[in-house]
């Protein structure tokens, strides 16, 4: 509902305040209805490799079902393509330069203690909050949960506990257990012991003929439903977060999900080379993948994996997505069985995208499209059904959007409510023009990138620059410009192309305005 359509008499009678949504501002909404439940689905390392996003080689019927129930954003981007920074951003609604989290180790409670998390704020609004799986990267953040966060360990008794939480293949478990014994005999403990084992064996993939409850992915679903049931009994609205850790490496999933795909039909990324004219520090040597024991650790930036290994990895990534997809179906069924589907907001998001060989890159950790672009979808009361929105939006917009949809009062955040795009009222609308991402490289460089409907413009700043320090032209080491209408694979940096001079000037002004506001 739009503010201009509400008359004074209605305001006095209902004391309902509806705020308009403006770019880079929070949304304000109080409603006279009971606040909606929130099912918060965080999926680690998930790029938009989904049938609902036009990837018809994928078997994802349950995420398709969710998409038809609501609205998906096709041009959504994370604030930084690394778990720690991205999750701190979405959970607080703040950019990384506000959370001061740019890595995997920093806890926003230490770097920006004045910030409140989304579930922490919801507790003050009468919600019960709880979670299982990977929500934050570092720790469990006890302040966020009114009912303790917990991770399940009741694995399928037929197969037992997976080795290092990941592996069920009997031979893999045998070798790892032997390595553990050796390491302990050498006096190793904790991380040193873990590294000793992983240096001997740490496969990048596993296809074992086991049940869904043999890995944590299946257990998180059961645990999440238990938490919902516990809160439903209280009569309070719930926020339940379920953080699936697949398709993160290692790519392990029950064999039945691997069997959905034929490896020989899998398409490899093209071209597998670095972009022409792009600064070398925009790329990386995919150390996360090289830490797996079956990957050549000597590979360097720009090196290409053998084709057979690429197909195996992509096959595993796809199998993991279908494994998670099956869990989404169980959750949607659970909402229907409890007759709460119509009073529950469901949001599904990936914490960043993923390189699968493009630019000779794997994993995330860049400002390129494959690393920043994510699946992002909402369903539930007040959300238009079976709708796609192409406008550029940001993951940190999730925080105020959920509050607006659920009927919770405003919170001061960097993100903007996307409810005017999600609802079915043609009189409400916003027009976001770009999404911002950033990525640090080495100790002193930071790349800031804006993605519009057509272009990506990136500046690499030196000397430890952040947006809260003075913007100086002499700090800019390099710039990038890509036109997705003519070059969707980012094969050439167009920043020095004279025909794009006006575009580059305009985008530079947009980015500078954002960085200096």
**Whole-Å CA distances, 40 to 37, 344, 423:** 10, 10, 19
> How many separate domains does the chain show?
2
Q: Which of 77, 98, 137, 461 is catalytic?
A: 137
At 13, is the secondary structure helix, strand, or coil? helix
List, for residues 233-271, the tens digit of each pLDDT value: 999 999 999 999 999 999 999 999 999 999 999 999 999
Q: Is residue 432 part of a domain?
A: no
Residue that terminates a domain, selected from 382, 399, 420: 382
Per-residue tokens: 54? 């036009």
List, for residues 419-444, the tens digit of each pLDDT value: 999 997 888 889 999 999 999 998 89
Q: Is residue 19 part of a domain?
A: no
Q: Tell me, what's the pLDDT at 316?
A: 98
301 and 446 inside one domain? no
159 and 274 inside one domain? yes
Pairing of strands 476-483, 455-461: antiparallel
Lowest mean pLDDT among 32-46, 48-62, 438-452, 496-510: 32-46
Could you tell me if 176 and 161 are in contact, meaning their C-beta atoms sit under 8 angstroms apart?
A: no
Strands (E), 185-278: 205-208, 238-244, 251-254
Pairing of strands 435-441, 205-208: unpaired
- Mean pLDDT over 51-76 rounds to 98
Q: How many residues does the chain have?
A: 517
Instruction: Find the domain containing 361 and state its range.
Output: 34-167+203-382
Residue that terminates a domain, selected from 347, 382, 417: 382
Question: What CATH code is carried by the domain that includes residue 116?
Answer: 3.40.720.10
Residue bearing tokens 């069924």: 333
**Residue 342 CB-density burial (10 A; 0-12 exposed, 13-18 middle, 19+ buried):** exposed
**Among candidate residues 444, 446, 389, the one with its CA nearest the CA of residue 420:** 389
Q: Is residue 15 part of a domain?
A: no
Mean pLDDT of the chain: 93
Which value, in Å, is the radius of gyration of the alpha carbons in the chain?
23
Element (H, E) at 336: helix 307-337
Q: Is residue 397 part of a domain?
A: no
Could you tell me if 438 and 448 are in contact, meaning their C-beta atoms sit under 8 angstroms apart?
A: yes
Residue that terminates a domain, selected from 364, 382, 400: 382
* φ, ψ for residue 228, nearest 5 deg: -60, -45
Q: pLDDT-derived band of residue 399, with 50, 70 and 90 as boundaries?
A: very high
Lowest mean pLDDT among 3-7, 164-168, 293-297: 3-7
Q: Is residue 63 part of a domain?
A: yes
**Among candidate residues 123, 126, 153, the one with its CA nearest the CA of residue 141:** 123
List, for residues 3-44, the tens digit of each pLDDT value: 333 332 333 233 333 333 333 333 333 344 789 999 999 999
> Furthest-apart CA pair in the chain: how many Å?
78
**Whole-Å CA distances, 425 to 109, 229, 413, 420:** 38, 33, 25, 8
- Judged against a pLDDT cut of 80, whether residue 2 lies above it is answered with no
Could you tell me if 420 and 429 are in contact, meaning their C-beta atoms sit under 8 angstroms apart?
A: yes
Known active-site residue 137: yes
Q: Which of 77, 83, 284, 352 is catalytic?
A: 83
Known active-site residue 83: yes
């Amino acid at each position: 509902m739009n503010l201009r359509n509400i008359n004074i008499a209605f305001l006095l009678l209902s004391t309902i305040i509806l705020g308009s949504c403006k770019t880079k501002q929070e949304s304000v909404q109080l409603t006279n209805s009971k606040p909606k439940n929130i099912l918060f689905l965080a999926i680690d390392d998930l790029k938009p490799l989904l049938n609902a996003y036009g990837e018809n080689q994928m078997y994802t019927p349950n995420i398709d079902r969710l998409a038809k129930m609501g609205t998906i954003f096709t041009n959504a981007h994370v604030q930084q393509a690394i778990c720690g920074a991205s999750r701190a951003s979405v959970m607080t609604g703040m950019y990384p330069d506000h959370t001061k989290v740019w890595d995997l180790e920093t806890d926003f409670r230490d770097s920006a203690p004045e910030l409140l998390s989304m579930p922490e704020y919801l507790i003050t609004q009468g919600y019960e909050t709880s979670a299982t799986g990977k929500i934050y990267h570092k720790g469990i953040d006890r302040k966020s949960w009114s009912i303790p966060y917990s991770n399940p360990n009741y694995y399928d008794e037929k197969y037992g506990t997976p080795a290092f939480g990941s592996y069920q293949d009997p031979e893999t478990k045998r070798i790892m257990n032997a390595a553990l014994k050796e390491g302990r005999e050498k006096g190793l403990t904790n991380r040193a012991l873990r590294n000793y084992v992983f240096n001997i064996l740490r496969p990048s993939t596993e296809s074992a003929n086991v049940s869904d409850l043999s890995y944590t992915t299946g257990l998180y679903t059961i645990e999440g439903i238990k938490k919902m049931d516990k809160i439903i009994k209280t009569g309070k609205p719930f926020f339940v977060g379920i953080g699936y850790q697949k398709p993160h490496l290692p790519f392990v999933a029950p064999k039945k999900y691997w069997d959905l795909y034929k490896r020989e039909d899998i398409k490899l990324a093209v071209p597998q080379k670095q972009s022409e004219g792009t600064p070398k520090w925009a790329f990386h040597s995919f150390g996360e993948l090289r830490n797996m024991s079956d990957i050549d650790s000597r590979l360097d930036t720009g090196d290409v994996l053998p084709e057979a290994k690429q197909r195996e990895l992509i096959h595993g990534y796809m199998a993991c997505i279908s494994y998670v997809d099956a869990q989404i179906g169980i959750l949607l069924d659970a909402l229907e069985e409890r007759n709460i589907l119509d009073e529950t907001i469901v949001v599904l998001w990936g914490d960043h995208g993923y390189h699968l060989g493009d630019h000779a890159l794997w994993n995330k950790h860049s400002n390129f499209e494959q690393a920043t672009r994510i699946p992002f979808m909402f369903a539930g009361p007040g959300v238009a059904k079976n709708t796609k929105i192409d406008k550029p939006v940001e993951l940190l917009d999730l925080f105020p959007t959920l509050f607006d949809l659920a009927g919770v009062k405003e919170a001061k955040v960097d993100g903007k409510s996307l409810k005017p795009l999600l609802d079915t009222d043609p009189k409400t609308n916003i027009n976001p023009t770009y999404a911002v991402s950033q990525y640090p490289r080495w100790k002193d460089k930071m790349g800031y990138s804006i993605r519009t409907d057509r272009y990506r413009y990136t500046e690499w700043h030196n000397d430890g620059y952040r947006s809260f320090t003075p913007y100086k032209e002499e700090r800019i080491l390099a710039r990038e410009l890509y036109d997705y209408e003519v070059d969707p694979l980012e094969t050439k940096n167009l920043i020095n192309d004279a025909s794009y001079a006006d575009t580059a000037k305009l985008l530079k002004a947009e980015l500078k305005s954002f960085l200096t506001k």
